[in-house]
Amino acid sequence: MKAGRLFLAVESGGTRTIASIFSDEGELLGYSIGGPSSHHVVGVARSEETLKAVISDCMASVGLKDYVFEIGCFGMASLDTPKDFEIISEMVKSMNIIKNPIIVGDHVTAYYTVTGGRPGIVVIAGTGSMGYGRVKDGVEARAGGWEWLVSDEGSAYDIARRALVYAVRSYDGLEEKTSLLDKFMEHFKASSFEEFIQKLYEDPRKHRIASLATIVATAAYEGDNVARKILKVAGKELGLLAFSVAKKLRIENDPIMVGCVGGVFRSGPIIFNSFKSFIRKKMPKATIM
């Protein structure tokens, strides 16, 4: 293709990475999708490797080679501290393909996608979770997103972890019966409970545990009461993130937009309906996107 003034957009997360190339008129020319590239999830080396591979594939899809983009916007998961920003900045700089890189958290790009820059809130729920919002004067606030050990409420990781706890407690006779344990054992190809535990702990990385959330969703829509409860709790937790941000910005009683993005919200209506119900009770004037 004949390369004019082109722009690069990259979304980096704990589940997948997407690179897109746009013309100066906003036309999508090409894109590429790869695996996780959050450096908190896969480590710095693999994060850089994945980012470079996905961008390279994207450029190849439109016939670009040795091209330098005028602007490249990187919406990165886990961009929470100055150290995180330093790590990502060095990665982007080492690529030598962007004149003017813009590096922000993926919550910022999600916010603009949902609100178009108007006052409002976005809740992201994928491998991790976070609430983020802004008002007219540029004041911003967030809630959650402090990683799996102390946060990530309502995320795929949180859903899977809760389900694993319930399944084990059910096995021990401490909770009601649930199909979750059988489903987890089938997933791990475990012939006994002990083998299931062994395989579970062989690789307890965040994104691997988070991937088990799809099993919970399947069980819920098959009628498992425990799984349905877990999804409803997740929806409420995500609603709490939005409400917390709204209170920090003092807009809980304003007619704002509240949007939700991420794979967790695409898992079916149980989580979204729970989220929506909570928002309507706490923020009756909000429009839910």
**Measured between alpha carbons, how far is 101 from 82 in angstroms, rounded to an integer?**
17
Supply the pLDDT for residue 3. 55
Instruction: Take residue 198 and report the two structure tokens written for it.
Output: 């062994």
User: Do residues 132 and 110 make contact, with C-beta atoms less than 8 angstroms apart?
Assistant: yes
275-284 pLDDT per residue, tens = 999 999 999 9
Give pLDDT tens digits along the chain (289 positions). Answer: 555 689 999 999 888 999 999 998 889 999 999 999 999 888 999 999 999 999 999 999 999 988 999 999 999 988 888 999 999 999 999 999 999 999 999 999 999 999 999 999 999 999 999 999 999 889 999 999 998 899 999 999 999 999 999 999 999 999 999 999 999 999 999 999 999 999 999 999 998 999 999 999 999 999 999 999 999 999 999 999 999 999 999 999 999 999 999 999 999 999 999 999 999 999 999 999 8
Percent of the residues in the chain that have a pLDDT greater than 90, as a whole number: 87
171-203 pLDDT per residue, tens = 999 999 999 999 999 999 999 999 999 999 999
Domain annotation for the chain: domains and CATH numbers: 6-109 (3.30.420.40), 118-289 (3.30.420.40)
**Measured between alpha carbons, how far is 127 from 114 in angstroms, rounded to an integer?**
19
**Measured between alpha carbons, how far is 163 from 178 in angstroms, rounded to an integer?**
10
For 5, half-sphere exposure in the C-beta direction (CA atoms, 13 angstrom radius) is 7
Nearest one of 7, 23, 133 to 71, comparing CA atoms: 7
